[in-house]
Amino acid sequence: MLLGGINGCLFFASPSPTLNLNLYLRLSEWRTLITMRVCIVTESFLPSINGVTNSVLRVLENLDPKVDQALVIAPNAQNTPTSYLGFPVRTTPALPTQNFLPVDMPMGLPQKRLQYLIDGFAPDVIHLASPFALGSYAAKIARRLSIPTVSIYQTELGGFAKQHGLALAKNSLQKILYKIHSQTNRTLAPSNTACLDLHLAGVPNVHLWQRGVDGDLFNPINRDNQLRQKWRAGNEDKTIIGYVGRLSAEKRIADLAPLINNPDIQLVIVGDGAHRKKLEQQLPGALFLGFASGAELAKIYASLDLFIHPGPNETFCQAVQEALASGVPAIVPMTGGAADLIAHNRTGYVINTADGQQLQKTVAYHRARLDRKQMRIATRDSVISRSWPVIVNQLKAHYQAVIAQQSIAESSKVGVA
């Protein structure tokens, strides 16, 4: 059935209202869309707090509600909000994953309801946040409805599985992730390391898209001398080294044990998780501060002398970026995305954090440096331009690119000249 024409171009009706509406929008105004309808399908959302949730929240916070419309679809959890900043949130049934996956968050179950939600919203683009079961199903729906997809590579499940003693599952999980991303129009990876891994695995259309940081919140001006004195407990020569993140096996926090017996080092651990009790036994003398966020977390970061994140499987590591914005040099592993953030010997140190001797030598070298103040300035300068508004504008450019590509492909199918 002939639906209509735009600027002399004819196209035909298709079975789905989403196809009809999106085809009209894309063919008429895809180069200069005044509004954009984005459906964000995420494997994790509030009340769960993790890297995936935080990235989705920052994206929503930096969309313009006057011109952008968004729908969030997430696994159902107790106290999941029905909206965020006015953007509606819809949920699908979920089951806990801690018994069979190396992550502790609900896993969304694919359901036909998902197609109704997507089709009814009629998005211009679907944003798949760290896609797994829910995201994979959404990608299939998107292909059926001819909606372009942008997938965010954020969680290396294979590496996490290995750290949790599931070495046999490592390759299988990674192959599943690579296959999911291969079925989307564009994959955004947060580091050069992650981009290379995806490329070598045969995933097409991979682009670098880093994370933003709130430079106003995470700022050296939050340094608190009273807090530092409390941590030092009378030893003014102590170097305060901190970790921020989940307390779980894949973070390799126990690798910090060689620092514990040094009287000139105070280890500060921020975060919570299943391994806390075990780590308290493995790291006696470390200060375990529990979960912190907002202004409290910003004060902790700025009051450190060094930050360390020993997890070797991070695709990016937002905690490192927040430490750098706070003027704190960081020690990171040679593998994983965190190494992308560090200019060795200038804004921190890229080393084998599992090597206790090398770790101790690196800390001793830093303590002896005479340019530590200049180094703190350099660390902040290295990330301060990477604000969330800038990063989300880059994301929207990726949205526009896949919308344009899909429009060209659709126009050729329906014979638009």
Beta bridge partners of 187: 151, 206
Other beta carbons less than 10 A from residue 367's beta carbon? 16
180-186 average pLDDT score: 98
Beta bridge partners of 19: none
Q: Which amino acid is at 77?
A: A
DSSP reduced 3-state for 104: coil
276-283 average pLDDT score: 97
**Predicted confidence (pLDDT) per residue in 10-49, tens digit:** 333 334 444 444 444 444 444 444 589 999 999 999 999 8
Task: Check if the beta carbon of residue 186 is closer than 8 Å to that of residue 401.
Answer: yes
Per-residue tokens: 58: 């920052």
Task: Check if the beta carbon of residue 91 is closer than 8 Å to that of residue 80.
Answer: yes
User: Within its chain, how far is the Cα of 203 from the centroid?
Assistant: 19
pLDDT of 2 strictly over 80: no
Positive or negative, the Cα torsion across 111, 117, 123, 127? Answer: negative
Complete DSSP assignment for 119-163 = HHH--SEEEEES-SHHHHHHHHHHHHHT--EEEE----HHHHHHH
pLDDT of 159 strictly over 50: no
**Residue 267, CB half-sphere, CA atoms under 13 Å: how many?**
25
pLDDT of 106 strictly over 50: yes
Q: What pLDDT shows up at residue 411? A: 83
Rounded Cα gap, residues 240 and 221, in angstroms: 17
Beta strands in 174-283 (DSSP E): 186-189, 206-208, 239-244, 265-270
Per-residue tokens: 125: 């683009």
**Predicted confidence (pLDDT) per residue in 365-401, tens digit:** 999 999 999 999 999 999 999 999 999 999 999 999 9
Annotation: CATH topology of 2-212+388-413:
Rossmann fold (3.40.50)
DSSP reduced 3-state for 180: helix
Backbone angle region of 353, left / alpha / beta, with phi > 0 → left and psi within -120 to 50 → alpha: alpha
CATH top-level class of 220-381: alpha beta
Spatial CA neighbour of 119 closest among 145, 157, 99: 145
Q: What is the CA radius of gyration of the chain?
A: 23
φ, ψ dihedrals at 361, nearest 5°: -65, -40
Per-residue tokens: 192: 């050069």
Rounded Cα gap, residues 210 and 83, in angstroms: 26
Q: What pLDDT shows up at residue 171? A: 73
Rounded Cα gap, residues 329 and 264, in angstroms: 18
| pTM as predicted | 0.85
Q: What pLDDT shows up at residue 99? A: 52
Residue ranges covered by each domain of the chain:
2-212+388-413, 220-381
Strands 68-75 and 239-244, by their bridges, are: unpaired
Q: Which residue has the higher pLDDT, 108 or 393?
A: 393
Number of H helices, E strands in the chain: 14, 18
Name the percent of the chain lying above pLDDT 70: 85
132 burial (CB, 10 Å; 0-12 / 13-18 / 19+) is: buried
DSSP reduced 3-state for 92: strand
Among 167-171, 210-214, 281-285, 333-337, the least confident range: 167-171
58-68 average pLDDT score: 94
Q: What pLDDT shows up at residue 57? A: 98
**Residue 320, CB half-sphere, CA atoms under 13 Å: how many?**
29
